Amino acid sequence: MLTQVPLLVVQPPAATDPTVRIFTPPRHATADHVYLSGPGPLHSSCGECGRILLRGQRSVHHVPGIYFVCPGCGACNALPG
């Protein structure tokens, strides 16, 4: 049973802030590009367009200062929690 967990769309933090890490897609991201792919039952999706960004997680934890930019729509996503 796969569960899809939407991430939280946020305003992108300043890239110069040393306490944040913003993961951005490669210039030529494939349609199935994900930032993480594992064997777990949880997928985290973009809070804006629903595209899967983190596939196959075992659990989802809030990690402050970590952001994922959606290759599809460009939204800045944070882990919920």
Least gap, CB of 47 to Zn ion (angstroms): 8
Nearer to Zn ion, 25 or 72 (CB): 72
Least gap, CB of 78 to Zn ion (angstroms): 13
Nearer to Zn ion, 19 or 55 (CB): 55
CA dist 19 and 14 (Å) reads 10
Residues 6 or more apart in contact with residue 1 via CB below 8 angstroms:
41
Residue numbers at the binding site for Zn ion (CB under 5 A): 46, 48-49, 51, 70, 72-73, 75
Neighbours of 33 (CB within 10 A): 16
